[in-house]
């Protein structure tokens, strides 16, 4: 079974190869020196033998030369060992730094992707709920149409009196107006793919006059009732002209019951339509909020420069939150001060550097130590509604001073607080990612380095 080497194993193997190379070089030079000594010894022996002074001692110069050479070899060995240790230390430090930068960037990207996926899933869920409510609205409208048809049928079988016709007309007019208002609100909401599909059902409100013909009985049909007794002889009245007055009691009672039941059904359908319309309006507002958060996340994490990030922040504050005046401050971590980068609604020259430690509201913001969340305090001061920290984890990257709202903005809503919490976290992450990218050493992609990062 072949075991795949991890990044740490490759690192150890690389260091072992470097050490083996240094040792091989060292022993090679030692072997060469030993051979030189052997050759020098053989030469000296030959010279002594030729002179016949085989018992003569070695000269002091030769001994000193050997000692110097030995010291040189020892120094070379120490230098080689120090060089190997330095190379090993530098390699380990470089690997650790690259690994740390990669982990930070990878965590930020994963978090941004998770947030975007959650926002997209929430949008899909809300869309499904709206479609379900749309089906319920269609069903309620169908019930109203059925109730109206039943009412028309009952009136066709037994012609109503003038007062009943007026009441039925009023009920039908109210239901039709409620349908038209609901369709207009749904089409005007701008949700073309989901809400716009309800529009074809608006034709129900414009029902043809023939279906309610019995309701428009002209007063002239009951003219015999208004004839003065002295002008017409009782015996000359045609029997058929008095037919409406002599209607059977059972028919009148059944007509009254049908009318009442139809009125109840129409009122229930209208109430249900109104309740569903309110629920759809609430869901559409929540959908708009989720879409705003999703678009804001995309704008923040798609930036490639600090200028793009500042532009995205300004657009979110102006368009999504309705903030008319604000200042974006960056943090100098060396001197621990906040300095202005961008200002909207005023001159940036009016804003000075502020020392975080000695500035009470900014010290409170910096002391939070994490991204702002709903329910956390929102310190402010004269001319500033509140300060919002921009964090990447525990690192404070910037602060937004919200100075004023647009004229048409009444106040900060719960949805606005959710967007502010998103800005506090993800704007800080985007800022730190741009900072790391600008100061990271440029290196080409390689299989070995990528596999080390994956293994780590």
> Which of 170, 112, 155, 189 is closest to 392 using CA atoms?
112
> 191 and 251 in one domain?
yes
Q: What is the pLDDT of residues 124-169, one digit of tens each?
A: 888 888 888 888 888 888 877 887 777 777 666 655 544 444 455 5
Same domain? 345 vs 420: yes
One domain for residues 150 and 254: yes
Identify the domain boundary among 47, 82, 114. 114
Does residue 259 lie in a domain region? yes
Task: Tell me: do 265 and 154 sit in the same domain.
Answer: yes
Checking if the pLDDT of 58 tops 60, the result is no
166 inside domain: yes
Question: Contact at 8 Å (CB) between 126 and 290?
Answer: yes
> 376 vs 316, 387, 415, CA distance in Å?
21, 12, 15
**In whole angstroms, how far apart are CA 325 and each of 314, 347, 348, 384, 405?**
10, 11, 11, 9, 7
Q: What percent of the chain has pLDDT over 70?
A: 70
What is the C-alpha to C-alpha distance for residues 299 and 309, in angstroms, rounded to an integer? 8
Residues 210 and 90 in one domain: no
With a cut of 90, say whether residue 96 has pLDDT above it.
Answer: no
Q: In what order do the strands lie in the sheet with 337-344?
A: 354-355, 337-344, 323-332, 395-405, 386-392
In a domain, 224, yes or no: no
Q: Which of 271, 283, 269 is nearest to 204 (CA)?
A: 269
**Inside any domain, residue 157:** yes
Q: E strand or H helix at 228, and its extent? A: none
pLDDT in tens, 223-271: 444 434 444 444 444 444 444 444 455 555 666 666 777 777 778 878 8
The residue from 98, 114, 130 where one domain ends is 114
Longest dimension (CA), the chain: 185
Pair (279, 366) in one structural domain = no
Where does a domain end: 299, 334, 368? 299
What number of CA atoms fall less than 13 Å from residue 445's CA on the CB side? 1
Is residue 156 classed as helix, strand or coil in its secondary structure? Answer: helix
> Does residue 98 share a domain with residue 22?
yes
Task: With a cut of 70, say whether residue 194 has pLDDT above it.
Answer: no
**For the chain, how many residues are written?**
456
C-alpha dist (Å) from residue 385 to 217, 378, 381: 67, 9, 7
CATH number at residue 414: 3.30.450.40
Together in a domain, 335 and 366: yes
274 in a domain, yes or no? yes
Residues 32 and 90 in one domain: yes
Instruction: Give the Cα separation of 332 and 399 in Å (integer).
Output: 12
pLDDT of residue 326 exceeding 90, the answer is: yes
Please report whether residue 339 resides in a domain: yes
Residues 133 and 199 in one domain: yes
Q: Buried b vs exposed e over 372-389: b needs ≥16 C-beta within 10 Å?
A: beeeeebbeeeebbbbbb
Q: DSSP class of residue 335?
A: T
Total domains in the fold of the chain: 3
Residues 284 and 345 in one domain: no
Contact yes or no for 289/418 (Cβ under 8 A): yes
Q: Could you list the residue range(s) of the whole structural domain that residue 67 is in? A: 7-114
The per-residue DSSP string of 351-405 comes to: PPPEETTT-HHHHHHHHT-S---TTS----BTTBSEEEEEEETTEEEEEEEEEEE
Q: Do 405 and 283 share a domain, yes or no? A: no
DSSP assignment of 33-57: HHHHHHHHHHHHHHHHHHHT-TTPP
Q: Is residue 449 part of a domain?
A: no
Q: pLDDT value at position 51?
A: 65
DSSP 3-state of 173: helix
The answer to whether residue 284 sits within a structural domain is yes
């Amino acid at each position: 079974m072949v075991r795949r080497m991890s990044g740490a194993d490759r690192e150890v193997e690389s260091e072992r190869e470097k050490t083996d190379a240094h040792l091989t070089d060292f022993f090679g030079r030692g072997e060469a020196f030993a051979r030189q000594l052997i050759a020098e010894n053989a030469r000296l022996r030959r010279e002594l033998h030729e002179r016949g002074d085989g018992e003569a001692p070695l000269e002091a110069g030769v001994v000193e030369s050997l000692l110097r050479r030995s010291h040189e070899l020892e120094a070379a060995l120490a230098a080689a060992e120090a060089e190997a240790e330095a190379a090993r230390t530098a390699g380990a430090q470089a690997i650790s730094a690259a690994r740390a930068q990669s982990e930070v960037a990878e965590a930020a990207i994963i978090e941004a992707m998770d947030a975007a996926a959650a926002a997209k899933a929430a949008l899909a869920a809300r869309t499904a709920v709206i479609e379900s409510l749309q089906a319920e609205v269609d069903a309620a409208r169908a019930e109203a149409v059925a109730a109206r048809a039943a009412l028309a049928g009952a009136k066709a079988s037994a012609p109503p009196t003038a007062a009943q016709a007026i009441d039925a007309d009023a009920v039908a007019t109210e239901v039709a107006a409620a349908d038209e208002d609901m369709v207009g609100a749904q089409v005007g909401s701008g949700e073309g793919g989901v809400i716009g599909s309800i529009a074809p059902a608006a034709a129900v409100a414009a029902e043809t006059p023939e279906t309610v013909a019995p309701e428009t009985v002209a007063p002239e049909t009951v003219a015999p009732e208004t004839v003065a007794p002295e002008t017409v002889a009782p015996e000359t009245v045609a029997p058929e002209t008095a037919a409406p007055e002599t209607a059977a009691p059972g028919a009148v009672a059944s007509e009254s019951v049908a009318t009442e039941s139809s009125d109840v059904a129409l009122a229930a359908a209208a109430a249900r339509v109104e309740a569903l319309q309110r629920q759809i309006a609430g869901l559409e507002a929540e959908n708009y909020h989720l879409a705003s958060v999703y678009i804001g996340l995309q704008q923040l994490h798609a930036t490639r420069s600090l200028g793009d990030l500042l532009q995205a922040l300004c657009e979110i504050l102006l368009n999504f939150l309705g903030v008319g005046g604000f200042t974006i401050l960056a943090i100098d971590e060396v001197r621990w001060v906040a300095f202005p980068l961008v200002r909207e609604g005023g001159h940036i020259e009016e804003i000075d550097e502020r020392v975080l430690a000695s500035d009470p509201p900014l010290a409170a913001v910096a002391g939070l130590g994490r991204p702002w969340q709903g329910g956390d305090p929102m310190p402010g001061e004269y001319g500033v509604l509140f300060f919002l920290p921009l964090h990447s984890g525990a690192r404070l990257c910037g602060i937004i001073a919200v100075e004023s709202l647009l004229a048409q903005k009444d106040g900060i809503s719960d949805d606005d607080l959710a967007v502010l919490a998103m800005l506090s976290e993800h704007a800080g992450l985007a800022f730190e990612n741009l900072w790391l990218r600008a100061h990271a050493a440029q290196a080409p992609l390689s299989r070995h380095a990528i596999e080390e990062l994956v293994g780590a």
